[in-house]
Structure 1
Amino acid sequence: MDLRAFNTKDYNLLIQWIDCEKLNYQWGGPNFNFPLDRIQIHEHCSQTNVFPFIFVVEGTEAGFVELFKVSGTHFRICRVFVPEHFRGQGIAKLMLKQLIALAKEKYQAEMLSLVVFNTNKTAKRCYESLGFVETSLEKGKRSWDGQVWDLITMEMRC
């Protein structure tokens, strides 16, 4: 299992994974339009404060995650994604453990934060198991097809 830098060769893989409008919104929020395309991905990943990664398991791409540099020692974990056929195997937790270690070692992160939809109980439990704690709840920040999704901010000191 290895976390490696996301590059232009991976764009089509991400486009294949994010294959419907709802999933695009859950993954990218209002920052990406559906269908996801190479131009949007390139513009996003070219930002100097965005560090995207692919998680590889036994030679197969099994996940995507990025670090967003908020400040010198504060990074936000964003766009955590595991494709359907890898879900339920603990892949997200393994990927995040490697990302946390990388954030500490390579980027000298002292604070990691993330935002998760309140409806995503599985992800919230995963983050809590890694040491993240809820620090705020923003009600009514996102909605999809008449459903309102609250946003939970979670943080972890490194």
Structure 2
Amino acid sequence: MPSPSVIVETFTQRYVAEILDWFASLEAVVQWGGTDLSHPLDAAQIEAMLAETTGAEPARSMLAGLADGKLAGHAQVALDWKNGVGRLSRVAINPRMRGQGLAQPFLREVANRFFANPAFERLELNVYTFNDAAVRTYRSLGFREEGVRRSSAKVGNARWDTAIYGLLRSEWTPPNDQNGRPT
């Protein structure tokens, strides 16, 4: 079965209002964005992230995945220019579009865009260990588990473990175009 078509573009101000209702609880916000964010997610929190996407060496890249012209996904990459490392984070698929196989093609294109920049050698991420769907997707893209930070996040009265995954440029297999050439 072919992968669904996902177009990836820069996440801009026009998508802010749409993403705000994707996270119905504190747990959902933290699972997406970490313990520094609050619920309900508001425009000011997203706009602060957008402010880090400008300049010659921005601190962050924010990407939107579009399916059939609708916002289907969101991802960010925190950029460490000095060490050539990116941290994939704040990945979400629109709750109304989950279960359609959009995550893998979206994240494949995010990784492809990241590794297209020769300044970067490593893409890493943190994922809560209970997030089985995300872990399966990351592994399918070639990410390797490098360790677990036990009881690393406090969410309400619960403690969550965080797994660390990494993918090196030498391990990345870019997708092919219709003619079988790397894109």
Q: Smaller-chain TM-score range?
A: over 0.9
| Bigger share in strand | 1
Partner of 1:101: 112
Aligned to 2:62: 52
Question: 1:141 — aligned with what?
Answer: 152
Residue number in structure 1 paired with 2:12: 7
Identical pairs, percent:
24
Q: 1:40 to 1:100 in 2, by over 3 A?
A: same
Distance (whole Å) between structure 2 residues aligned to residue 114 and residue 29 of structure 1: 12
Select between 114-123 and 144-153 the one with higher mean Cα deviation: 144-153
Count of aligned positions: 158
| Residue 91 of structure 1: aligned partner | 102
TM-score, length of structure 1 as denominator length: 0.93
Aligned match for 2:77, one of 44, 67, 71:
67
Report the counterpart of residue 162 of structure 2 in structure 1.
151
Looking at structure 1, the residues matched to 118 and 11 of structure 2 have their Cα atoms a distance apart, in angstroms, of 17
Q: Equivalents in 1 of 2:50, 2:33: separation in Å?
A: 12
Q: Which runs of 5+ in 1 are unaligned?
A: none
Per the alignment, residue 34 of structure 1 pairs with 39
CA–CA distance in 2 between the matches of 1:44 and 1:107?
Answer: 24
Q: Please tell me the root mean square deviation across aligned C-alpha atoms, in Å.
A: 1.4
CA distance in 1, matches of 2:154, 2:133: 19
In the TM superposition, what whole-angstrom CA distance separates every residue of 1:15-49 from its partner, at most 9, and x where no partner exists? Answer: 12123222111111122111111111111221231
Counterpart residue identity of residue 85, structure 2: H
CA change 1:63–1:107 in 2 (3 A) is farther
Q: How many angstroms does 1:89 deviate by?
A: 1.8
Cα 1:49–1:84 change in 2 (3 A) is: same
Give 1:107 deviation, angstroms. Answer: 5.9
- Compare the two structures and name the one with the higher helix fraction: 1
Would you say the 8 A contact 2:76–2:89 is kept in 1?
yes
